[in-house]
Structures are given as C-alpha cells and as structure tokens.
C-alpha cells in the first residue's frame, strides 16, 4: 500500500480520503441573475436591492442573458457538455436572508453537464478530475448578527447575485489534490473572465465533501464542510475532518452524514446540522420561468471567442519554449503571469527567462506584496537582463543583484539592466589575461592550499571563490574554474 | 336612459365620447352607489378622492382630445393587483397595511388607457376559495338573494368583482382566474367573466397564487365590455417571461355576430352525476341557440376530464406553498414577535393566514415533499399534459367548446365553508382551461327555479379570444339575459 502516498495512517492501518467539491463561483456580471440590481462589492447594506430581490408581492424573475452566456463560456472552458435545454427549479427553505423563501437554482436539468479538469500536482504529474455539472443559481443575502445586542440585521445586496455551482465527482484523494483542483478551476474562470475568483470577497467559495475508507472499500459516509473561503483553509479543513473521521471510526464510532462548518480560528470543523435535521428542499420547476433554451449556434459563437486556456497554454509553453512541465504549469496558473513571461521571453532564451520570472520576479513580488500588474520591473527589462546573461555580459549571480537593484528602484527610475551594469561596473571580466593574473596571484599566495588541493581536488573550489572575490565577482566563473583546474594540474 | 350607474361599459364610453355626461359625473354617481353598498362588502378599500382626481384628469383629456380607450370609466380592482401607493392585501391579514411602491402591469395598462379607480375589491384570501368566504375582510354577499331572502355567496375567488359588477358598483372590474375564479363568480352573479389565454395578460405585480395557472381578466356586464377591457388589460411584458409576445387585436371588432359554419364541441365528459336538471337543460338550450345561429354542433371527448380537479388541487397548492413562503414577517406586512426567528415565522404565519390558505400550504408542501413528489406532483403534471392533449385533439374536430360554467347556482353563505372538498367541486368545469392554459368565457344564460343566474362557458383555442368573444356575444344575444338583482342592500 505504500505505493499510494496519499494514504493517512491510523492506529489500525491506512485510510484513504475521498473528496468531492462544490465550488460556488460568482459570475462576473454587473447585474444580478434575475434582476437589474447592481452586484458591486462593498456597497452600503441594502442599497443594491430591486423589488424582485426583496421578493415583494407579485414580483417576477427575468433571466439575465449575460449570465447565461458566462455559464456557457465556463462550461466550454471546463470541456463540458453544454445543455441547450435546462430548467430552473425552486429550492424551498426559510431563512431571513432568503427573501423569496426559496432559492432559484437548477436541480435535475443543469445548463452544463459532464466535463473534466486536469490538475497539476506538486510532483509535476497531472491528474484528471471529473466535473459532474455546472448550474446557475441565486446567491442569498447576508445575516448580520453583530450589529445589535438582541436583533439580527439582514443585508440583501448579495440576494439574487448570479452564482455558478461547479460540482466535481469524488475524484480527489488528498488535501493537496483538492487545493490544486480549486486553483485550477479558479485559473480557468479567470482566463475566461467569467468569475474574478476573489476568495476574500466571497466571489469563490467551496463546499468540501469528505469521507474516509479502507483502500479499495466502498465509499464511506461523507460530511460536507460548508463555505470554505480560502485555499489554505480548504487544506486545513480536509486534514482536520479526515483525521476526525479516522479517529472516530477507529474508536468504534460511526460517521454520521452531516453538514459541518470550518472554524479558521482553531482549524477545526464542527457540526452544523445532521441528516435528520437536513432540509427537505421540495425542489420543483419554477413556474415563473420558462425552461432555458438556446440553439447550438449560440454555443458555437461563444466557443469561437474562447481565449487560450491554461492547459493549452501549458502545452504550447512546453512545445515552443521547451519549458519543463512544472515551470510551464507555474507560469500558466495566472493569465497575467503567462503574459508577463511571454513578453519577457521575446527574442531571449526562454528557459532562462522562465527561471528569472519564477525565481526573481515572483519572489520579489511576493516579498513586496505586489501583484504582477504592479511589478516595478517590466517584462522587457527582464528580457534584456536575461540577454546580458546569455551574451556573457554578466554572470547569473550578478544578474540577480542587478535585478534587485532594478526592482528596488522601481519603474520611475526606469534604469534598464545595461545602464546599471555600466554604471556600477558590473560587466563580467572575460579578458583571459586578467583572469589568469588573478589566478596566479591566489596560487602564489597560498602554497599550503595548493598542496591540499592536489591531494583533495574538491579544494579547487576554494581557489575559484578567492579569484571571484578578488575580481569583485565579475570574472566569468566558467573561465576561472577552467584555469584553476589547469594551473593546479587537476584537469587531466 | 335612467341612471348613469345603469350603463354598461360600452354605453358609458359612448356617452362620455358624445359628451352626454362628464367623467366626473359618471364617477360621482358610481362613488355614491359604492358608498351605499356596504352590506355587500364588495369593496375592501374605497378610493373616492383618487377616483375624482382621475375623473377630473379624464375630463381634461376629453376636452383636449387626448382621451384613451377607457377614458373616464370607473372600475373596481381586485385586491390581488398591486396598486402604487394604495393598500393591497390579497384579503389576507398577513399583508397587513401593505402599500406597494409599484403598479401592476395590468392596472397600469388600464390607467394609461384612462380608466378610473373606484377602489379595491374583496376576494378569497390569496384567491384561494370559490365563495369569497375565506377573505380576511369577511364574505361578500351576492346581490342576488335566495328565495327566502337568505344571503348567497357571489362565487370566488373574485367575489368582490362579480358582486360589484352585478350591483353596478363600477362599469367593470378586474379579476384573476386560477381555477375558475373569474368564470364561476360571473356565473353566480349574472355577469360576464373572461379568463384569457395563459400569457395574454402580464402577471407582474399581481399577488401570486399558482404561477402556472394564474391569469388576469375582466368581469363585466356584457361580452362587448369584456372585449373592450381585455384590449386594455392584455400586453406583452418583458418583466413577466411567461407573458407572450403577440399583438393585442381589436377584440371589439371581432364581435361580428356571425358564427355560421363555426364548429361547437360538446364534451360528453362534462355531463357529471347529480348535475341539476335545469343546468342540463340550459346547456341544451345553449346548444340550440348556437345551432340556430348557424353553428355546427360536434360531439367531442375530453377523456381525462375526471382527473383534472385532483391534478389541479395538487399543482395549485404546490405552487402556492412556495409562492407564499415570502410572507414571513421579515420585510413587509404583519409580523408577530417570537423568541427566535423560527418562532417569529410560526407566530406570524399562524396569525396571518386563514384556514383555507394554511390547508393549501400544507397540501402543497406535502405534495412536494421527498418521497411524495413523484406520486403526487409529477403525476399531476402528467395528467395536466394529458388534459392539454385532450383539448388539442378536440380542436381538430371543433373550434370552441360549450359547457356549463358551474354545477350549481350560487349557494348560501356558510353552506360549504366547513367542507373543503364540496367547495372544490365548484371548479369542476373551469379548472381544465387553466390546466391547459386556454381562454374561457362565462356568459349569463338563464335562471334556475329560484331565479338565480346560471352561466354557460365557452372554451377557446390558445389566443382564440376573438373567436371566443364572437361566439359569446351570439350566445348572450340569444339568451337575452336582462335580469337585475333586487336592490336589497341599499335599503
């Protein structure tokens, strides 16, 4: 069983985690799914509520065509079956932030059916996760329990906002896979422009279904962890919940089907309601809305307009730029990152550019807390810097220093790499006479080390280091290395 | 010509056009009559000041030649239609003193065409009932009384509308019909009731009972009046996606009186057990009248008719149980405090809804519940499909159908109120048109042994209102129904 590294150990043996996700993605649309009210984030409470959203008597929903288009676009991006006939159903339950007393959703006949998503795992491998369906539904409002000592307030700004619920098959086997899946779905949505993927603002959140079983057994009883709103929390929630279920079963207990909540404060999940308390949602087709029908031409027109998606871009990066699958998947995870890389790589050694983008650029941005759009170093500057390495003007390590100077100075200073190299005299020394003189000098000054090096050839590195130091790092490292070995008689 | 309140809508319209009287005179006469009608309990809210304002505005329009098709005609509006700035309750306590900040599409169409609002009319709570006895404002009394002077129901749910038109408390009234709520009250009061094709009138701003069945229409004194009213009420409305994008024809122009060669279908399944012989003979009389007018009579079969009532009483409550969930005390209407949110819901809905509404919410909730959904709701939808197919097949052999509107004349207030099933049987001839989405017209055709009005129903093809009204007018002319109730209420 050791072949499956995803198994988790228990007192009585190994367990397999089985995970399925329901991702709720808010459609990038200026108005709601069935009303013209605005969807802008952060508005005053109850300032974006139409008569329909407030479920006033006699009000009727009217489908927002743009949201339908976005759902179709997403379905195509998930390589899924788009259903030209789908039906809106009512999901009935009482809650103060649900004005109609039902949520309009799609139950039996969703707008999008089966699809697949390829996820990139940290070891560079790829796994296929099945998508069961994508359906359109309304978001609820928000109950505020912290505004008054004895009353709860309700904000209906979110009420009626369009969501796409993307339901996976239970194909994931570890927290890392679930996280990779969410990242991939988010990347696809962002590429498509159908959801901004902003988890802090609640534009993307996930319900995580967790069960455990002995490897090879039937599926165990699952618990659903509701509304987890960050990729890190998804990982924590799964780890905690799987461990809780294993401990429970090993102690002789039975997992009860439950809805649970993840508490980020203590990293634990707790029961929200059991199966017995579960709502009977009494789904039935919404009689206020006709079935949603469109023709294949509508779908084809959207398909023609699709941007290049992460998987295709990754394949192209591997083929055209000869990048490793890992580097390619890192670069395509965000459309902006990929675009930055492509701009920098123009006319340059693409692999070297990838290294600098993933290494220096991402690290610098991370440290500074900047988005790629706000990078102080432009893609063109990165490309030029890589060019200076390629033509041996600077070494890799000098290039790193130059990059940091460019990054710190920021775009206003606008100094390109060649200017900085010139100003600071960082140009690599390739004059072999000068390098040879420096090597001779170090050898002459350290006869004891020469003896040691001739006994232990690894000591040659010490001489290289001394020469590099003596030349202020500007000597070509390869040339120094070669000369040192030759002078010490170690090149034979 | 005696009084202004004796005029039907078309006569009043023509009188206004010829300046025989002004809109304010016509409205004033109706306001006075409405004021003296409290014993009928037809109006739940009178708006005399609003009416006079609107009438004055109409007179200005007559003066400057910009009068609309309904200019200056005073009407009553069923309290199911939301009226901007005017209390709208659906005759339910749960809406409290709810004042909509919006106007329903149908009433807006009427105001745009110049009509004048006399007030809001009583109805069964949320339009659930066949006698107007479930109203939180109490029952409406039929202007026609029983042989011994006992009060009779005006039918329901549009009982305020039918009573108002029969008692001349307005030249016409708006109404809604989910299972017969326009046609049955019309039959009980000697008035004309038209339920249009589903999708002909917008449902926007009409308090919903059962969304897939609800349809607005007029109750009027004559078929011509119904044609005129429908011309204004009907419209395509982008805010109601179930309304149909289709031109509104000139319905009045369709009243040619010529039905030669028209095929009238007589569905054999409408000969139900225990039907009073006078209804049976009235039906035969109707057949003869239409035959004499040149129509061809065809026997047809609607084989699934017997399943219509049970299917209706699953589908309508199922939709209602969901449609009425919004009345939760959170945002508008009446609220009863509770210790927590669930308690507040329970208290609010327990106090706010009457027994019949609660009964239907429970029936509907049950029918949609896990484990029962397939056996009840899905089965009822299948029956609905078969009923629609029945009509499609029948219309291969005929153009309209002729049936009785109701299995009895108006009954005494209180008679069936404790027996819901008996009450539901009132809808036996009318629910089929709702289930199939077809237009239905009830025309007063005669009297029973006690002198109470009886109606005959015509059911047409989808969007066949012109043909339906044409036949209706021929039937109306042949029947020559001129009876008026004794005015006991104003004494």
For residue A449, what are its two tokens?
């080390």
C-alpha span between A56 and B51 (Å, rounded)? 26
Would the CB atoms of A58 and B365 count as touching at under 8 Å? Answer: no
Q: Which of A94, A152, A287 sits opposite B325 (nearest CB)?
A: A94
Note the pLDDT tens digit of each residue in B315-353. Answer: 999 999 999 999 999 999 999 999 999 999 999 999 999
List the single residue in A with minimal CA-CA distance to B368: A282
Q: Find residues 294-353 of chain A whose CB sits inside 8 Å of chain B.
A: none
Asked whether B384 and B377 are in contact (CB, 8 A), the reply is: no
For residue B45, what pLDDT band results from cuts at 50, 70 and 90?
very high
- Collapsing DSSP to helix, strand or coil, A474 comes out as coil
Strand partners, B219: B173, B193
Provide DSSP, B188-242: HHT-EEEEPPTTSS--TTBPPS-TTT-EEEEEESSHHHHHHHHHHH----TT-TT
C-alpha span between B60 and B65 (Å, rounded)? 8
Q: Is A43 on the interface with B (CB under 8 A)?
A: no
Given a cut of 90, is residue A254 above it in pLDDT?
yes
C-alpha span between B472 and B458 (Å, rounded)? 7
- Collapsing DSSP to helix, strand or coil, A268 comes out as strand
Would the CB atoms of A51 and B102 count as touching at under 8 Å? Answer: yes
pLDDT at A278: 76
Average pLDDT value for chain B: 97
Closest by CA position to B275, among listed B450, B460, B448? B448
Q: Find residues 124-153 of chain A whose CB sits inside 8 Å of chain B.
A: 152
Q: Which residues of A touch B98 (CB under 8 A)?
A: 57
Q: Which DSSP letter does residue B136 get?
A: T
State the catalytic residue, choosing from B92, B130, B181, B202. B181
Q: Find residues 74-93 of chain A whose CB sits inside 8 Å of chain B.
A: 90, 92
Would the CB atoms of A99 and B241 count as touching at under 8 Å? Answer: no
| Candidate from A272-281, B145-154, B465-474 with smallest mean pLDDT | A272-281
Query: How many CB atoms sit inside 10 A of residue A400's CB?
Result: 16
Given a cut of 50, is residue B217 above it in pLDDT?
yes
Closest by CA position to B458, among listed B388, B400, B408? B400
Would the CB atoms of A282 and B341 count as touching at under 8 Å? Answer: no
C-alpha span between A363 and A357 (Å, rounded)? 9
For residue A53, what are its two tokens?
């959203």
| Candidate from B191-200, B231-240, B267-276 with smallest mean pLDDT | B267-276
Q: Which residues of B touch A289 (CB under 8 A)?
A: 241-242
For residue B1, what pLDDT band results from cuts at 50, 70 and 90?
very low
Would the CB atoms of A58 and B98 count as touching at under 8 Å? Answer: no
In the predicted model, what is the mean pLDDT of residues B454-464?
98
For residue A420, what pLDDT band results from cuts at 50, 70 and 90?
confident
Pair type for strands B400-404 and B453-459: antiparallel
Region of A413 (left: φ > 0; alpha: ψ -120 to 50; beta: rest) is alpha
Burial class (CB in 10 A: 0-12, 13-18, 19+), B449: exposed
Q: Is B253 on the interface with A (CB under 8 A)?
A: no
In the predicted model, what is the mean pLDDT of residues A210-234?
95
Q: Which residues of B touch A102 (CB under 8 A)?
A: 322, 325
Q: How far is B68 from chain A (nearest CA, A)?
A: 27
C-alpha span between B240 and B251 (Å, rounded)? 23
C-alpha span between A491 and A484 (Å, rounded)? 9
For B83, B202, B331, B360, the CA distances from B206, given in Å and listed in that order, are 9, 8, 18, 19
C-alpha span between A290 and B240 (Å, rounded)? 10
C-alpha span between A136 and A156 (Å, rounded)? 19
| Candidate from A471-480, B196-205, B424-433 with smallest mean pLDDT | A471-480
C-alpha span between A37 and A52 (Å, rounded)? 9
- Collapsing DSSP to helix, strand or coil, B382 comes out as helix
C-alpha span between A77 and A309 (Å, rounded)? 7
In the predicted model, what is the mean pLDDT of residues A248-254?
94
Q: Is B88 on the interface with A (CB under 8 A)?
A: yes
Query: How many CB atoms sit inside 10 A of residue A373's CB?
Result: 9
Q: Which helix (H) or strand (E) holds A437?
A: helix A432-445
The verdict on whether B181 is a catalytic residue reads yes
List the single residue in B with minimal CA-CA distance to A151: B340
In the predicted model, what is the mean pLDDT of residues A230-237?
96
Would the CB atoms of B98 and A102 count as touching at under 8 Å? Answer: no
- At which residue do the structure tokens 């290395």 appear? A481
Would the CB atoms of A102 and B325 count as touching at under 8 Å? Answer: yes
Mutate to test the interface with B, among A60, A92, A109, A151 (most CBs of B within 10 A): A60
pLDDT at A1: 34
Q: Which DSSP letter does residue B152 get?
A: B
The verdict on whether B397 is a catalytic residue reads no
Q: Which of B319, B342, B370 sits opposite A280 (nearest CB)?
A: B370
pLDDT at B168: 98
- At which residue do the structure tokens 């609003």 appear? B50
Q: Which of A55, A99, A290 sits opposite B242 (nearest CB)?
A: A290
- Collapsing DSSP to helix, strand or coil, B36 comes out as coil
Q: Is B346 on the interface with A (CB under 8 A)?
A: no
Given a cut of 60, is residue A413 above it in pLDDT?
no
C-alpha span between B302 and A45 (Å, rounded)? 55
C-alpha span between B88 and B77 (Å, rounded)? 10
The verdict on whether B135 is a catalytic residue reads no
Burial class (CB in 10 A: 0-12, 13-18, 19+), B198: buried
Closest by CA position to B292, among listed B474, B473, B121, B138? B474
Burial class (CB in 10 A: 0-12, 13-18, 19+), B378: middle
Given a cut of 90, is residue A273 above it in pLDDT?
no
Note the pLDDT tens digit of each residue in A311-358. Answer: 999 999 999 999 998 899 999 999 999 999 999 999 999 999 999 999
CA torsion sign, A170 to A171 to A177 to A179?
A: negative
Closest by CA position to B351, among listed B163, B136, B129? B136
Would the CB atoms of A55 and B326 count as touching at under 8 Å? Answer: yes
Q: How far is B388 from chain A (nearest CA, A)?
A: 17
pLDDT at A410: 66
Phi and psi at residue B31, to the nearest 5°? -60, -45
Give me the percent of chain B exceeding a pLDDT of 90. Answer: 96
Burial class (CB in 10 A: 0-12, 13-18, 19+), B133: buried
Q: Is B101 on the interface with A (CB under 8 A)?
A: yes
C-alpha span between B267 and B289 (Å, rounded)? 17
Would the CB atoms of A60 and B365 count as touching at under 8 Å? Answer: no
Q: How far is A152 from chain B (nearest CA, A)?
A: 9
Residues comprising chain A, all counted: 492
List the single residue in A with minimal CA-CA distance to B209: A58
| Candidate from A141-155, B105-119, B232-246 with smallest mean pLDDT | A141-155
Q: Is A205 on the interface with B (CB under 8 A)?
A: no
Q: Which helix (H) or strand (E) holds A32?
A: none
State the catalytic residue, choosing from B46, B78, B120, B461. B78
Phi and psi at residue B403, to the nearest 5°? -145, 165
In the predicted model, what is the mean pLDDT of residues B367-394?
97
pLDDT at A409: 76
Q: How far is B208 from chain A (nearest CA, A)?
A: 6
Q: Which DSSP letter does residue B173 get?
A: E
Q: Which of B238, B326, B377 sits opposite A62 (nearest CB)?
A: B238
- Alpha helices, H only, A92-205: 175-192
Q: Which of B82, B88, B322 sits opposite A90 (nearest CB)?
A: B322
Would the CB atoms of A57 and B211 count as touching at under 8 Å? Answer: no
Would the CB atoms of A63 and B241 count as touching at under 8 Å? Answer: yes
Q: Provide the b/e sequence for A437-472 (b: ≥16 CB within 10 Å).
A: ebbeebbeeeeebbeebeeeeebbeebbebbbebbe
Q: Is B368 on the interface with A (CB under 8 A)?
A: yes
List the single residue in B with minimal CA-CA distance to A104: B322
Q: Which of B82, B239, B330 sits opposite A96 (nearest CB)?
A: B330
For residue A441, what pLDDT band results from cuts at 50, 70 and 90?
confident
Closest by CA position to B475, among listed B299, B301, B291? B291
CB pairs under 8 A between A and B: 95
- Collapsing DSSP to helix, strand or coil, A21 comes out as strand
- Collapsing DSSP to helix, strand or coil, B95 comes out as helix
The answer to whether the bond into B157 is cis (omega within 30° of 0) is: yes
Mutate to test the interface with A, among B99, B105, B237, B326 (most CBs of A within 10 A): B326
Would the CB atoms of A58 and B206 count as touching at under 8 Å? Answer: yes
Cα B210 to chain centroid distance, Å, stands at: 14
For residue B491, what pLDDT band results from cuts at 50, 70 and 90?
low
> Which residues contact residue B449 at a Cβ distance below 8 angstroms, ignoring those fewer than 6 apart?
B278
Q: Is B211 on the interface with A (CB under 8 A)?
A: yes
C-alpha span between B455 and B432 (Å, rounded)? 17
Q: How far is A286 from chain B (nearest CA, A)?
A: 9
Query: How many CB atoms sit inside 10 A of residue B316's CB?
Result: 28
Mutate to test the interface with A, among B97, B318, B330, B434 (most CBs of A within 10 A): B330
Would you give the end-to-end CA distance of chain A in angstroms?
A: 49
Q: Which residues of A touch B332 (CB under 8 A)?
A: 56
Would the CB atoms of A282 and B373 count as touching at under 8 Å? Answer: yes
For residue B270, what pLDDT band results from cuts at 50, 70 and 90?
very high
pLDDT at B437: 98
For residue B234, what are its two tokens?
């009907």
Residues comprising chain B, all counted: 491
Q: Is A108 on the interface with B (CB under 8 A)?
A: no
Give me the percent of chain B exceeding a pLDDT of 70. Answer: 99
> Which residues contact residue A405 at a Cβ distance below 8 angstroms, ignoring those fewer than 6 apart?
A415, A420, A424
C-alpha span between B134 and B188 (Å, rounded)? 17
For residue A2, what pLDDT band results from cuts at 50, 70 and 90?
very low
List the single residue in B with minimal CA-CA distance to A63: B241
For residue A418, what pLDDT band results from cuts at 50, 70 and 90?
confident
C-alpha span between A139 and A49 (Å, rounded)? 13
Q: Is A218 on the interface with B (CB under 8 A)?
A: no
Would the CB atoms of B328 and A284 count as touching at under 8 Å? Answer: no
Q: How far is B240 from chain A (nearest CA, A)?
A: 6
Provide DSSP, A169-183: -S-B-SHHHHHHHHH
Residue bearing the bigger pLDDT, A113 or A469 = A113
């Amino acid at each position: 069983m050791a072949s499956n590294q995803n198994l988790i150990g228990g007192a009585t043996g190994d367990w397999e985690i089985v995970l399925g996700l329901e991702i709720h993605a808010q459609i990038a649309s200026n108005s709601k799914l069935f009303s013209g009210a605005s969807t802008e984030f952060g508005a005053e409470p109850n300032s974006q509520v139409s008569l329909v959203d407030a479920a006033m008597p006699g009000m009727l929903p009217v489908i927002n065509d743009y949201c339908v288009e976005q759902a179709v676009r997403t379905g195509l991006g998930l390589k899924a079956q788009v259903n030209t006939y789908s039906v809106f159903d009512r999901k009935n339950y009482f809650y103060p932030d649900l004005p109609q007393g039902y949520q309009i959703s799609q139950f039996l006949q969703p707008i999008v059916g089966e699809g697949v998503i390829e996820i990139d795992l940290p070891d560079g491998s790829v796994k296929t996760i099945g998508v069961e369906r994508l359906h359109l539904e309304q978001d609820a409002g928000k109950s505020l329990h912290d505004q008054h000592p004895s009353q709860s307030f309700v904000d209906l700004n979110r009420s009626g906002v369009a969501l796409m619920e993307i339901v996976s098959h239970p194909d994931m086997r570890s927290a890392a896979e679930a996280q990779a899946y969410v990242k991939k779905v988010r990347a696809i949505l962002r590429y498509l422009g159908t959801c901004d993927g902003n988890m802090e603002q609640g534009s993307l959140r996930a319900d995580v279904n967790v069960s455990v079983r002995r490897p090879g057994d039937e599926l165990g009883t699952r618990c659903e962890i509701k509304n987890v709103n960050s990729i890190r929390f998804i990982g924590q929630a799964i780890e905690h919940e799987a461990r809780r279920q294993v401990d429970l079963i090993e102690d002789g207990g039975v997992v009860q089907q439950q809805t649970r909540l993840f508490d980020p404060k203590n990293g634990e999940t707790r029961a929200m309601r059991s199966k017995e308390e579960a709502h009977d949602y009494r789904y039935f087709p919404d009689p206020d809305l006709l079935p949603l029908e469109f023709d294949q031409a509508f779908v084809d027109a959207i398909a023609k307009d699709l941007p290049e998606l992460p998987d295709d871009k990754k394949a192209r990066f591997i083929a055209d730029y000869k990048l490793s699958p890992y580097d390619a998947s890192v670069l395509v995870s965000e459309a902006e990152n990929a675009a930055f890389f492509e701009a920098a790589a123009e006319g340059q050694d693409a692999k070297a550019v990838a290294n600098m983008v993933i290494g220096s650029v991402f690290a610098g941005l991370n440290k500074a807390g900047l988005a790629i759009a706000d990078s102080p170093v432009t893609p063109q500057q990165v490309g030029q810097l890589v060019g200076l390495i390629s033509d041996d003007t600077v070494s890799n390590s000098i290039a790193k220093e130059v990059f940091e100077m460019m990054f710190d100075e920021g775009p206003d200073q606008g100094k390109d790499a060649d200017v900085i190299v010139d100003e600071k005299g960082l140009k690599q020394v390739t004059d072999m006479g000068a390098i040879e003189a420096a090597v001779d000098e170090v050898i002459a000054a350290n006869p004891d080390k020469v003896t040691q090096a001739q006994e232990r050839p690894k000591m040659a590195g010490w001489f290289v280091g001394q020469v590099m130091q003596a030349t202020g790092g500007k000597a070509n490292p390869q040339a120094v290395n070669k000369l040192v070995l030759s002078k010490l008689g170690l090149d034979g | 010509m005696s009084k202004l309140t004796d005029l039907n809508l078309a006569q009043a319209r023509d009188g206004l056009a010829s300046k025989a009287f002004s809109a304010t005179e016509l409205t004033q006469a109706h306001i006075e009559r409405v004021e003296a009608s409290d014993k009928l309990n037809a109006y739940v809210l009178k708006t005399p000041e609003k009416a006079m304002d609107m009438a004055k505005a109409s007179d200005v329009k007559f003066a400057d030649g910009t009068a609309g098709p309904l200019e200056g005609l005073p009407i009553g509006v069923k309290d199911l239609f939301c009226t901007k700035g005017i209390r709208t309750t659906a005759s339910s306590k749960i809406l409290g003193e709810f004042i909509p900040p919006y106007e329903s599409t149908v009433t807006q169409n009427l105001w745009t065409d110049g009509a004048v609002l006399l007030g809001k009319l009583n109805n069964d709570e949320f339009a659930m009932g066949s006698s107007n006895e479930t109203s939180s404002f109490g029952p409406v009394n039929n202007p026609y009384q029983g042989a011994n002077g006992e009060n009779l129901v005006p039918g329901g749910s549009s009982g305020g509308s039918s009573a108002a038109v029969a008692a001349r408390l307005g030249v016409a009234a708006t109404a809604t019909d989910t299972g017969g709520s326009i046609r049955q009250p019309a039959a009980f009061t000697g008035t004309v009731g038209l339920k249009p094709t589903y999708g002909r009138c917008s449902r926007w701003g009409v308090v919903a009972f059962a969304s897939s069945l609800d349809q607005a229409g007029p109750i009027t004194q004559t078929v011509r009046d119904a044609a005129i009213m429908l011309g204004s009420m009907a419209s395509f409305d982008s805010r109601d996606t179930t309304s149909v994008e289709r031109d509104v024809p000139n319905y009045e122009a369709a009243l040619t009186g010529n039905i030669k060669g028209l095929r009238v279908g007589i569905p054999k399944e409408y000969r139900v057990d225990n039907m009073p012989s006078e209804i049976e003979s009235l039906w035969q009389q109707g057949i003869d009248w239409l035959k004499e007018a040149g129509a061809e009579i065809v026997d047809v079969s609607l084989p699934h008719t017997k399943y219509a009532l049970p299917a209706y009483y699953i589908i309508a409550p199922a939709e209602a149980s969901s449609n009425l969930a919004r009345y939760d005390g959170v945002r508008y209407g009446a609220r009863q405090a509770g210790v927590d949110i669930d308690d507040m819901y329970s208290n609010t809905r327990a106090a706010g809804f009457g027994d019949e509404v609660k009964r239907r919410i429970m029936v509907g909730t049950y029918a949609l519940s896990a484990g029962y959904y397939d056996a009840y709701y899905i089965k009822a939808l299948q029956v609905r499909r078969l009923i629609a197919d029945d009509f499609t097949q029948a219309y291969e052999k005929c153009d309209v159908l002729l049936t009785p509107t109701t299995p009895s004349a108006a009954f005494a207030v209180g008679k069936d109120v404790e027996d819901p099933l008996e009450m539901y049987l009132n809808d036996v001839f009318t629910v089929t048109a709702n289930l199939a989405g077809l237009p239905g017209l009830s025309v007063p055709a005669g009297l029973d042994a006690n002198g109470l009005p009886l109606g005959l129903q015509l059911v047409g093809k989808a969007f066949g209102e012109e043909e339906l009204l044409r036949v209706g007018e021929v039937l109306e002319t042949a029947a020559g129904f001129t009876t008026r109730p004794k005015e006991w209420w104003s004494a």
